Amino acid sequence: MDYRESFYALYLNQANEVLGIKRISECGISSTLVDVRIVMQAALLCNASGIIVAHNHPSGNLKPSTADIKMTEQIKEASKIMSMALLDHIILTSDTYYSFADDGMI
């Protein structure tokens, strides 16, 4: 069911194999809070080289919000400082997705 917004992070090794998946947050109907430090903490603990983050939009609207864009930039900068790569940020709806990487936003 797609009634609450959730945010997940996938952590990858240098061969882009998944090391782990972590739910970062699950909040309300139209937003979820993401602490970049928690995203990066898990990345450090599993020795990740790459990160893919994803969250859903229960509204069905694929357009990234201003908050989505700002959060992506913060995670990208934190990743760069830690010599990791933010590979993508994916927004999911019930039947399709939006990729920041495919759209040239990462």
Copy the structure tokens of residue 44.
Answer: 């450090």
Q: With beta carbons less than 8 A apart as the criterion, state whether 7 and 23 touch.
A: yes
Return the pLDDT at 1: 54
Cα–Cα distance for residue pair 60/17, rounded to 1 Å:
29
Q: C-alpha 81: how far from its chain's center?
A: 17
68 vs 31: CA distance, rounded Å: 10
Q: Give the angle 5-6-11 at the CA atoms, nearest 5°.
A: 155
Domain 6-99: assigned CATH number? 3.40.140.10
**What's the pTM?**
0.92
Which residues lie across from 29 on neighbouring strands?
none
Domain ranges of the chain: 6-99
| Per-residue model confidence as pLDDT tens for the chain (106 residues) | 577 889 999 999 999 999 999 999 988 777 788 999 999 999 999 999 999 999 999 989 999 999 999 999 999 999 999 999 999 999 999 899 999 999 999 9
State the pLDDT at residue 50: 98
